[in-house]
Structures are given as structure tokens and as C-alpha cells.
Amino acid sequence: MPSHTFSVNGESVTVDAPDDMPLLWVLRDLLGVRGPKYGCGIDVCKACTSHLDGQAVNPCVVPVSDAEGRDVTTIEGLADGDRLHPVQEAWLAQDVAQCGYCQPGQIMAAVALLRRTENPSDEDIDAIANVCRCGTYFRIREAIKKAASMMR
């Protein structure tokens, strides 16, 4: 079984797994990192959104071999110790979550968007396309705008 070494939330990890095992499986089942959620497994719902070298990816369709030597960040790695990321603060302030299932992915997608765009438009935000079956889209939009103003 090949072994793969990469960083997860700032810590180096080595796992034995087939090259083509999805990174989401490795995170959740082998490493116990369960913030990224499993929804569809086919790059549609985006519940699993995490970052690879700071870019939003959907690890259900990223083979673990692609993570070799790279930095994986999940929702667990977003806060700085006890200090929440501004996007997390904004999420709480706007009381975004309902059932919560999609929310780690929504927040990770929002953080990646705000890295690319300081002042995102409604169209930029809607382009994230993470699915929320509870329909929290309006509050997500408000929270991203609030976070953008906090980060400027």
C-alpha cells in the first residue's frame, strides 16, 4: 500500500492508502477529521469543501496522491487557537446555520472567495454554488458581506 505524506491543519501526517482513494475518505475515515461532510461524493453538493494550498477543492473527488507534500486545511484548521476566523464570527453574528450539515463547506468556500475578492458582489457569492437544503442562502450572503467588511 503506498504511503502519502502531507499537512492537515498545520500538522504533517502520513497515511497508507491507495493512490486513488478520495482525500475525503482519508480525512474522515483514516484521520478522524470529520468537519468536511460527505454529501454526494461526485463534486456536486460541495459539503466537503476544504482547501488545498489555500484553494477551495472538493476532496470527495481529489485522489489522496494529489495531496502529496501539500497543505490541506479543513474547517477544524480555520480558527487561530481560540480566535475564530472573521468568516466564522460573521456566521455566528448572522446566525446562518440551520441543520448545519452544509455549513463547514459553505464557510471554507466563503474564506476562499474572500481571498480572491475583497468585496464580493452578490453574483460572486452565488457562484460559490455550495448546496444548502435548508435554504440559508440569504443569510450566507449577508455573512460573507459582513466578513468582507470585517477583513478590509
- List contacts with ligand FES (CB under 6 A): 38-41, 43-48, 58, 60, 97-103, 132-134, 136
Q: Which is nearer to ligand FES, 84 or 134 (CB)?
A: 134
Q: Which is nearer to ligand FES, 13 or 137 (CB)?
A: 137
Q: Which is nearer to ligand FES, 5 or 101 (CB)?
A: 101
Count of Cβ atoms closer than 10 Å to residue 42 Cβ: 9
Q: CB 152 → ligand FES: shortest distance, Å?
A: 27
Q: List strand residue ranges (DSSP E) for the chain, in order.
A: 3-8, 11-16, 50-52, 55-57, 71-73
Q: How far apart are CA 67 and CA 80, in angstroms?
A: 23
Q: How far apart are CA 97 and CA 87, in angstroms?
A: 13
Q: CB 38 → ligand FES: shortest distance, Å?
A: 5
Nearest to 59 by CA among 77, 78, 30, 38: 38
Q: CB 34 → ligand FES: shortest distance, Å?
A: 13
Q: Which is nearer to ligand FES, 9 or 130 (CB)?
A: 130
